[in-house]
């Protein structure tokens, strides 16, 4: 993991080479002049015995060495020095600048040309080597900057890492990325070493990036580079520190590109995930529309077929047939009514328009009334009730009665005839907990929450009768009362639906409304 500020050691070495070693002019000059002096000193004792041209060859050495160290500017100095020394010490007559024989002019000329060419060549090689090292260092920095943005941990972190690395590697005194949003407000997710940037940005509010660029252009030591962003609002890279060399300008422009890539990638990712969730919503909406139209159309189909038969004088219907058709019409009309009512309840709950008429309610009475109402559908099961002595709750009697009925009907629908259904209610701290348990197939693990989603049924392909909205409505109602509803596995198999309602506390059940202002 590349932590902030941890610049690997080999990289530091590369950075040192990034600014090519400035040719050490003084050392070069000293070497070439000193070298010439030493050469002269060494050669003088033998000058009667050696060839004049040999001295010229030896005197090329200090020029080349000096140029290698001090660069090209050393070469002419070295050549002149060597030329003078050669003429003065080695071309007879000695210790004069006169040149005796014509051939010595040729020697001097050859010396000057050879020394100059050699020196220039060596200096050039040196410079090329330094440049190559510089390029290598640059490449390593580019790689480093590019990989700084690869970790997938959010735009701001990536930009901060990028700026931090850039400050250290290029190096910069400071750097910052400034981004505009849709309303052209500027903010800086990543800033290092640029004081009072946020303050400046506040001042430039509403100015768009161009305003900042102009501002920056008037600030010495600070440069602004527009980010090449093509998707969404633009941004600017601010850098503090010298950008005198071509290489540094290249690095800064690369930094800007990299920041832009970061910003765009993050924007496109956000866009993609927004699209995905829209698609999911769309898919769910289609499924819901499909389910609703199926549930509305099915009873309508039966009603229409029945009515068309009853209305057709050509069809010879027996009295029994007529009874069957009329009964079907009634049942299916009830079914439609139930479905439409549930749909309306559901939409009221979802839009927050559910009206809760609270009153002090006894759960025991509510249980008795509901069980009495459902006697017929509960008759097929072994049904038991265990309701303790309960405090009053402050609820809408009708709505909670509906929840209770719904849970009981659910239990009868989803369990085989003859199996046990138990209804219990008990006080529990500040709550009254009501529980409907059955011995049916239960709810598959992990689906405990999803059964409360509207139209959950449609995702399981379960064609049990019912509207698929019952539990969602129960949840809506219970939560509107500040309570909670959930399902767990019943001991011994089956499902156990429970809900809690807050106990009525510190409120006298019946009181005269208090006047706003009490007069004494």
119 and 72 Cβ atoms separated by less than 8 Å: yes
Quote the least distance from Cβ 297 to another protein, whole Å. 5
Quote the least distance from Cβ 270 to another protein, whole Å. 34
- Count the neighbouring beta carbons within 10 Å of the beta carbon of residue 288: 14
Quote the least distance from Cβ 439 to another protein, whole Å. 24
- 365/398 Cα distance (integer angstroms): 12
- 369/371 Cα distance (integer angstroms): 6
Quote the least distance from Cβ 416 to another protein, whole Å. 18
- 358/398 Cα distance (integer angstroms): 10
Taking the least distance from each CB to another protein, the nearer of 84 and 300 is 300
414 and 421 Cβ atoms separated by less than 8 Å: no
- 187/332 Cα distance (integer angstroms): 62
Quote the least distance from Cβ 311 to another protein, whole Å. 9
DSSP E strand stretches across 83-206: 174-180, 186-192
String of DSSP letters for 111-147: HHHHHHHHHHHHHHHHHHHHHHHHHHHHHHHHHHHHH
75 and 63 Cβ atoms separated by less than 8 Å: yes
Quote the least distance from Cβ 314 to another protein, whole Å. 8
Taking the least distance from each CB to another protein, the nearer of 359 and 462 is 462
- Count the neighbouring beta carbons within 10 Å of the beta carbon of residue 167: 21
Quote the least distance from Cβ 465 to another protein, whole Å. 9
- 214/223 Cα distance (integer angstroms): 10
Q: How many residues does the chain have?
A: 520
Note the residues at the interface with another protein (CB under 8 A): 289-290, 293-294, 297-306, 308-309, 312, 315-318, 321, 324-325, 328, 331-332, 461, 463
Taking the least distance from each CB to another protein, the nearer of 182 and 316 is 316
Quote the least distance from Cβ 405 to another protein, whole Å. 23
339 and 468 Cβ atoms separated by less than 8 Å: no
Instruction: Give residue 169's Cα distance to chain centre.
Output: 26
Q: What is the DSSP letter of 244?
A: -
Closest CA to 211 of 222, 221, 226: 226
Taking the least distance from each CB to another protein, the nearer of 152 and 330 is 330
Quote the least distance from Cβ 184 to another protein, whole Å. 46
Quote the least distance from Cβ 346 to another protein, whole Å. 20
Structural tokens at position 142:
């580019």
Quote the least distance from Cβ 323 to another protein, whole Å. 10
Taking the least distance from each CB to another protein, the nearer of 306 and 437 is 306
Quote the least distance from Cβ 331 to another protein, whole Å. 7
Taking the least distance from each CB to another protein, the nearer of 421 and 458 is 458
206 and 185 Cβ atoms separated by less than 8 Å: yes
Q: Interior CA angle at 291 toward 289 and 296, to 5°? A: 95
- 60/350 Cα distance (integer angstroms): 96
44 and 88 Cβ atoms separated by less than 8 Å: no
Taking the least distance from each CB to another protein, the nearer of 335 and 435 is 335
Taking the least distance from each CB to another protein, the nearer of 188 and 302 is 302
Taking the least distance from each CB to another protein, the nearer of 7 and 307 is 307
Give, in order, the Cα–Cα distances in Å from 492 to each of 258, 351, 437, 488.
62, 39, 10, 12
Taking the least distance from each CB to another protein, the nearer of 148 and 291 is 291
Taking the least distance from each CB to another protein, the nearer of 150 and 326 is 326
- 387/321 Cα distance (integer angstroms): 46
Q: Interior CA angle at 306 toward 305 and 307, to 5°? A: 95
Taking the least distance from each CB to another protein, the nearer of 131 and 312 is 312
217 and 224 Cβ atoms separated by less than 8 Å: yes
Strands 382-387 vs 420-428: parallel, antiparallel or unpaired: parallel
Quote the least distance from Cβ 301 to another protein, whole Å. 4
Quote the least distance from Cβ 328 to another protein, whole Å. 5
Each residue of 2-13: b (16+ CB within 10 Å) or e? eeeeebeeebee
Rg, Å, the chain Cα set: 47
Q: What is the DSSP letter of 503?
A: B
């Amino acid at each position: 993991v590349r932590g902030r500020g941890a610049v690997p050691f080999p990289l530091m070495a590369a950075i040192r080479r990034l600014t090519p070693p400035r040719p050490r002019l003084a050392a070069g000059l000293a070497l070439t002049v000193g070298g010439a002096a030493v050469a002269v000193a060494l050669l003088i004792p033998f000058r009667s015995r050696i060839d004049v041209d040999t001295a010229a060859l030896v005197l090329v050495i200090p020029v080349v060495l000096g140029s290698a160290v001090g660069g090209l500017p050393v070469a002419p100095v070295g050549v002149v020095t060597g030329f003078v020394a050669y003429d003065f010490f080695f071309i007879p007559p000695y210790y004069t600048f006169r040149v005796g024989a014509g051939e010595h002019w040729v020697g001097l000329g050859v010396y000057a040309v050879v020394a100059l060419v050699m020196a220039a060549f060596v200096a050039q090689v040196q410079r090329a080597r330094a440049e190559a090292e510089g390029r290598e260092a640059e490449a390593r920095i580019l790689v480093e900057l590019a990989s700084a943005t690869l970790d997938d941990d959010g735009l701001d972190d990536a930009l901060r890492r990028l700026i931090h690395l850039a400050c250290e590697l290029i190096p910069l005194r400071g750097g910052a990325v400034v981004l505009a949003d849709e309303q052209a407000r500027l903010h800086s997710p990543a800033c290092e070493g640029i004081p009072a940037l946020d303050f400046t940005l506040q001042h430039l509010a509403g100015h768009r990036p161009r305003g900042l660029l102009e501002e920056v252009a008037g600030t010495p030591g600070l440069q602004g580079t527009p980010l090449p962003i093509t998707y969404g609002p633009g941004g600017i890279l601010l850098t503090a520190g010298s950008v005198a060399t071509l290489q540094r300008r290249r690095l800064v422009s690369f930094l800007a590109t990299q920041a832009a890539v970061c910003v765009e990638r993050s924007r496109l990712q956000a866009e993609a995930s927004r699209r995905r969730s829209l698609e999911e919503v769309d898919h769910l909406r289609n499924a819901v529309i499909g389910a609703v139209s199926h549930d509305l159309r099915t009873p309508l189909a039966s009603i229409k077929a029945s009515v068309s038969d009853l209305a057709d004088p050509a069809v010879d219907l027996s009295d029994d047939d007529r009874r069957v058709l009329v009964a079907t019409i009634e049942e299916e009309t009830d079914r439609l009514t139930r479905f439409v009512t549930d749909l309306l309840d559901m939409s009221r709950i979802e839009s927050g328009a559910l009206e809760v008429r609270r009153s002090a309610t006894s759960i025991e009475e509510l249980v008795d009334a509901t069980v009495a109402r459902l006697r017929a559908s509960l008759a097929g099961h072994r049904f038991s009730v265990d309701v303790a002595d309960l405090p009053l709750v402050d609820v809408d009697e009708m709505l909670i009665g509906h929840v209770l009925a719904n849970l009981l009907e659910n239990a009868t629908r989803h369990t085989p005839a003859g199996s046990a259904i138990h209804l219990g209610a008990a006080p529990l701290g500040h709550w009254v907990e009501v529980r409907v348990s059955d011995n049916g197939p239960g709810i598959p693990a992990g689906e405990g929450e999803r059964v409360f989603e509207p139209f959950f049924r449609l995702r399981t392909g379960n064609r049990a009768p019912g509207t698929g909205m019952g539990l969602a409505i129960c949840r809506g109602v219970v939560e509107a009362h500040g309570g909670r509803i959930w399902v767990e596995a019943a001991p011994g198999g089956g499902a156990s639906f429970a809900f809690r309602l807050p106990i009525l506390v510190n409120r006298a059940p019946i009181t005269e409304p208090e006047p706003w202002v009490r007069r004494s």
